[in-house]
């Protein structure tokens, strides 16, 4: 199978904490080549680029230039929620597939705009709701679909994930930041996965 030629737009916290392992150290790494990277924060981008040997001429501060100059199949748009729309639209217009971390946007208008563009371009726009593949969630869905739980009335979810302090000495500080818990409670940070599963798998059946 040919590898997917991927351009990474945004190399901030989610890449540092999570996606670098997917790109370079996972069971799926042999399926992708990180062809180019882009970030307006040159220092952070170069740290990432130096660690993984991304050539200097494949590092960009402008995603439009990256898309124009490098032959790509897809981009991963890892910019903040409020800044997903422009690079997603640009990539779809260039005929590329796009993967975005959850949530797709911080407002419904941006989300609809990206979805409409993907339909218009017949492109792939994926949102990384990885809990969809969690075997426990899939089993609950199957049981529910089989009618094992009867009619849906209410559900109680317990979150077993915990926020780990990755490296208290790492700068810029993220999970280890003093105000992380007050600024990013699990309600906003992880409960989005539960809300997405409930709305997709469960409420849909009783509408
Ligand atoms: N951090 C996590 O653990 C985590 C987990 C799940 C989902 N997410 C999602 O991942 C996305 C990114 O979050 P983050 O925590 O990495 O944010 P972040 O602020 O740490 O990183 C975002 C990066 O995007 C760069 N950027 C901004 N505008 C740009 C542009 N025009 N072109 C190129 N680069 C640009 C910034 O310089 C920064 O390096 C968000 O949608 C967030 O909700 C993050």
- Count up the domains in the chain and report the number: 2
* The predicted structure's pLDDT at residue 161: 60
Across the strands, what pairs with 77? Answer: 9
Rounded to whole angstroms, the Cα distance separating 101 from 18 reads 11
pLDDT at 56 over 60: yes
Residue where a domain terminates, one of 96, 128, 160: 128
* The predicted structure's pLDDT at residue 185: 60
- Full residue range of the structural domain in which residue 177 is found: 131-206
Confirm or reject: Cβ of 41 under 6 Å from ligand 1: yes
Are 153 and 70 part of one and the same domain?
Answer: no
Specify the pTM.
Answer: 0.85
CB 199 within 8 A of CB 132: no
Look at residue 19 and give its three-state secondary structure.
helix
User: What does the pLDDT average to over 29-47?
Assistant: 97
* The predicted structure's pLDDT at residue 125: 97
* The predicted structure's pLDDT at residue 42: 96
Are 21 and 93 part of one and the same domain?
Answer: yes
Are 103 and 15 part of one and the same domain?
Answer: yes
Are 142 and 159 part of one and the same domain?
Answer: yes
Are 16 and 82 part of one and the same domain?
Answer: yes
Residue located nearest, by CA, to atom 3 of ligand 1? 14
DSSP result, the chain: -PPEEEEEE--SHHIIIIIHHHHHHSTTGGGEEEEEEE-S-HHHHHHHHHHHT--GGGEES-HHHHHHHS--SEEEE-S-GGGSHHHHHHHHHTT-EEEEESSS-SSHHHHHHHHHHHHHHT--EEEE-GGGG-HHHHHHHHHHHTTTT-S----------------TT-SS-STT-TTHHHHS-HHHHTHHHHHHHIIIIIHHHH-
CB 159 within 8 A of CB 194: yes
pLDDT at 62 over 70: yes
pLDDT at 91 over 70: yes
| CATH number of the domain that residue 96 is part of | 3.40.50.720
Lowest-confidence region among 121-130, 164-173, 189-198: 164-173
Instruction: Output the average pLDDT for the chain.
Output: 86
Confirm or reject: Cβ of 110 under 6 Å from ligand 1: no
Rounded to whole angstroms, the Cα distance separating 124 from 116 reads 11
Confirm or reject: Cβ of 79 under 6 Å from ligand 1: yes
Give the confidence band of 197 by pLDDT, cuts at 50, 70, 90. confident
For residue 63, how far is its CA from the centre of ligand 1 (angstroms)?
A: 14
pLDDT at 66 over 80: yes
Are 170 and 120 part of one and the same domain?
Answer: no
Are 111 and 135 part of one and the same domain?
Answer: no
Are 47 and 101 part of one and the same domain?
Answer: yes
Residue where a domain terminates, one of 105, 128, 151: 128
Rounded to whole angstroms, the Cα distance separating 105 from 112 reads 9
Q: What percent of the chain has pLDDT over 70?
A: 81
User: What does the pLDDT average to over 41-49?
Assistant: 96
pLDDT at 86 over 60: yes
User: What does the pLDDT average to over 154-180?
Assistant: 65
Residue where a domain terminates, one of 128, 158, 173: 128
Residue located nearest, by CA, to atom 33 of ligand 1? 39
Are 135 and 70 part of one and the same domain?
Answer: no
């Amino acid at each position: 199978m040919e590898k997917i030629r991927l351009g990474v737009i945004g190399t901030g916290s989610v890449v540092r904490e999570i996606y670098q392992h997917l790109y370079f150290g996972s069971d799926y790494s042999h399926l992708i080549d990180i062809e180019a990277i882009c970030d307006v924060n040159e220092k952070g981008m170069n740290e990432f680029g130096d660690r993984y040997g991304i050539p200097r001429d494949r590092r960009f501060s402008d995603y439009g230039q990256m898309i124009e100059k490098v032959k790509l199949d897809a981009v991963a748009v890892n910019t903040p929620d409020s800044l997903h729309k422009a690079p997603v639209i640009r990539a779809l217009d260039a005929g590329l597939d796009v993967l975005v971390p959850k949530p797709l946007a911080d407002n419904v208008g941006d989300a609809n705009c990206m979805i409409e563009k993907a339909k218009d371009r017949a492109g792939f726009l994926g949102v990384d709701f990885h809990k969809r593949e969690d075997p426990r969630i899939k089993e609950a869905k199957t049981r529910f679909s089989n009618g094992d739980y009867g009619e849906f009335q209410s559900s109680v979810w317990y979150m077993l994930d915990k926020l780990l302090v990755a490296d208290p000495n790492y700068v810029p500080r993220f999970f280890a930041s003093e105000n992380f818990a007050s600024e990013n409670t699990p309600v906003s940070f992880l409960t989005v996965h539960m809300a997405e599963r409930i709305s997709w798998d469960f409420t849909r059946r009783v509408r």
